[in-house]
Structure formats: C-alpha cells, structure tokens
Amino acid sequence: MTPAEDAAKLLDDFGLDTRGDLASHSPIDGSIIGQVGIGDPDKACAAAAQAFEKWRLVPAPVRGELVRLLGEEIRAAKASLAAMVTLEAGKIMAESLGEVQEMIDICDFAVGLSRQLHGLTIASERPQHRMMEQWHPLGPVLVISAFNFPVAVWAWNAALALVCGNPVIWKPSEKTPLCAELVMQLVRRAMTRFGDVPEGLMQVVQGERAIGEALVRDGRVALVSATGSTRMGRMVAPLVAERFGRVLLELGGNNAAIVCPSADLGLAERGILFSAVGTAGQRCTTLRRLIVHESIADELVARLERLFGAVKIGDPREEGTLVGPLIDEAAFEAMRGVLGNRLERIEAVRGGFYVRPAIVEMELQEGPMLQETFAPILYVVRFREFDEAIALNNGVPQGLSSSIFTNDMREAEQFMAADGSDCGIANVNIGPSGAEIGGAFGGEKETGGGRESGSDAWRAYMRRQTNTINYGSELPLAQGIRFDVAP
C-alpha cells in the first residue's frame, strides 16, 4: 500500500475525518497523506484558563487516574499509533514502537507521581513556629513539539502537567499533524471514561509558525515547554520573558562520544552505529562527533565504515530497514550544504529523500563540527591526551548529551565529574542517544537548560509556596528583630 492509503486506513480506524488547510506530507514518498484544520489560539487559551479553575481543585491522585486511563488507551493503540509515526516522521517501525512505549512509560511514571507531589518541613528559628514548603498547580501549559518525536515529547510534558493540576495546549510540528490528531482521539477516549473533565483541559492547536507565536505570547499560558532547534528557542524565550512567563527549553544537541584506548571496540561500534544513524540522524541526541584516541582511530573508523556501508536504507515500513528518509527536502539540502559532492543519495522510494550516513574525518574541531546538522553525519577527530578529549567534548555551544567508551575507572569518573562533561547527560559505555523516562532529560548552554520527563522534572510544572505557621501566643520576628511600640 502507498503511504496515503495506509494513512487513510489508520484515520478511518481511529474514527477521524481530518479536513483542512494544513497538509501532511509523508517523507517516505513526499505524498500528501492527510489534512487538518488550523486552530484558534485565543479560543484555546481561554478554554484552558477556564479549565484550570476546576482542574487545580481535583486531588492529585484523582488527576492521576485520568493519566492511567490515557496510558491504557495508548497501550491498546500502540501498533496503530506507531504506524502513523512511521508514515509521518519516517522512523523505522522499531523506533516508532519505542517512541509510543515512551508514552506508556511516562503515563505509568506520572500515575505514581500523583501521590508523591510532596514538599518539605523546614526548621524555623522562631519558637513555636513551623515552616513548610508546598507545591500548587501552575496554570495552562503550552507544549511545542518537533517532528522527530511527534508523540513522545508531548506525553513527557502532558502526563506530568496533568497530574500537577494543569491544562495542556499542544502545538505539534506542522510536519506531523496527523500523529497529534490520533493522540488527541486517544485523549478523548480516556476523558470519556474518566467522566467529569472540564472542557479545554486537553487541546491541540494545529498550524504553522504564526499560530505558535500567538500561543507563546498569550499571558494566560503559564509555562511554555518548547522542543526544537536553538534558533526556535532564541525566538520563544524572549517572547515569554517579556511577559514574565515560565519557559522550559529543549533545544539542539551536538553530541560527542569519546573512545579511549581501553575501550571495548565491539561494544563501542554498536553504540556508535545506533547513536549516529538511528532516526536518520534526526534526533537531538544523535551522535555527531566521535573523539577517538589516535592509537585506535584507524581500526575503529574502518569498522564503522563497514557498518555504515552495510546499513539497509529504504522504506521504513519494510522489515530490515534501519535508516528511513530525511523528513523533507530542506533537511536534504542542509546535509548537502555540508557534504557537497560527498553526499550519497539513495533512490530508495520515489519522492523521498534517502541518504547514506557519512563519516567525515577532521583535523580540528571547527566549522560544521560546531553546528548541528540534523542529518546522519559523523565527524571524527583524534586526540592524544585525555584532557584534550574532555576539552573537545565541551568545546561546542550545545550541551545536551555525551558519552565515553572506556574500561578505565578513572577516565569514566573524571568524565562524570564537575570538570568533566558539561552536558546534561553523560553516559559511560553506551552512546549519547536513547534515554529512559526515569531520568530528567535536557541539557545546558544552547540546549536551553530545561528538564523534562523523570526525576524531579515535575517541579517545573508547579509553583512553590513557603508557609510559616505560628502556633504560639508570642510574635517573635526573624533575625531577632525587635519592633515594639512603647505604650
């Protein structure tokens, strides 16, 4: 079947009749596979603000029940939703299924979290006083997601925002609108099963840049969680700051792996292969820079060239395919702009943009190595001293993910120390790509500093309040201040 036929069947199975002015093109062959209507930002923000008045008063464990039901709906529709991710984002089915599994996992995490939104009891310096800290719902949350993770990034944010007491507005990538429509149908099913859900609690607003900008500017939106390029983040952050809103940024990555002389090269080559060519190099955590010790560089590069050459490139729906298409022609042109005549294009499916992953050896870390090209390009640079490798790892504007392959405990520990990797993620003996939902996800520097998913990332979706309670009959002031009025 053609991508258009596959998409039509999926939409019909979900009971969706999508019509509108925003067309979705499958990267598999470039064909239009569906169309959706453009949203109304003002109406969405008004409805979310109204829903917040009610949802914030629902007990957190009860809010968790809605997320539990949503997880059940996603689990039941896992294969179908993954198929749409493949059709619209070009991921191979194994990766698409993995992305939907992330949605299920974060729902499970958030359900447990709904009973653990705890604060602190803090010792007071004043007698017969108690000080404590608690967390309250924040307000409507806007989630801006990118094409490369068209459903999981929304779930990371939405599941936490919901149990924290916040309505969610979703502005998906204009390149993957159908994935969002399928997810929202699952949301509606979960809300119907839950019962009394305020209107406007969960919404999707489709459209291009102007729609997103209107949502970002709206003062009724308490938190903007934006995932995308650093360029996008430079536009979003000032707009939110201008109105003193809160922003959570997950931006570009330019991730490195250091390979030391003691490394298990068999382990390293497998980790490097997935990290560098998975999702056709279109992950924010994709491995883009390989920093390898000069004593093993020739052997490792030769191994990688054989592996890169053996990777099956083609229709991501077909069994055995490991690399699908780039998302569109603009991505292809960006890759060609860096590689020029070295770019090998694969005529896999008519209308799509299929490329063979490239390995480029560099004398110095400069030029294109300092930027993120969203394509399967692996730059290789050699090092002699370990401190030089750390400096190379840190010597780019981005700071998302990093990794080291070594069997030397001292090297591994130094890599994770304060003077080691400056990234939000630092892995040992695995690649930089592929994260579990239990840990907070995000990075530093031009990656934006935001954290999503696990650990204590939930705090970004709530407002902190400090309380002091005087249960005595005196009124001592802090710091021993005396403020008495003579009779």
Angle at 366 between CA 361 and CA 371, to 5 degrees: 100
- Please identify which of the residues 260, 284, 411, 446 carries the catalytic annotation: 284
Distance CA 260, CA 268 (A): 10
Sequence length of the chain is 487
Instruction: Find, among 375, 320, 420, 371, the residue nearest to 27 by Cα.
Output: 375
Sign of CA dihedral 468, 116, 285, 151: negative
Q: Please give the C-alpha separations between residue 323 and each of 90, 184, 327, 346, 360, in angstroms, as whole numbers.
A: 9, 28, 12, 11, 19
Q: Catalytic pick from 65, 95, 181, 250?
A: 250
User: Where are the extended beta strands (E) located within 294-441?
Assistant: 345-346, 354-355, 358-361, 377-383, 398-399, 401-405, 425-428, 440-441
| CB of 98 closer than 8 Å to CB of 207 | no
Q: Is 107 a catalytic residue?
A: no
Nearest in space to 185 (alpha carbons), one of 95, 108, 99, 70: 70
List phi, psi (to 5°) of 482.
-105, 130
Contact present, 421 and 295 (Cβ < 8 Å): no
d(CA 115, CA 112): 6
Strand runs (DSSP E) across 228-376, as ranges? 246-250, 255-259, 287-293, 345-346, 354-355, 358-361
The C-alpha atoms of residue 263 and residue 405 are separated, in whole angstroms, by: 5
284 catalytic? Reply is yes
- Report the distance separating Cα 90 and Cα 97, nearest Å: 13
Catalytic residues: 250, 284
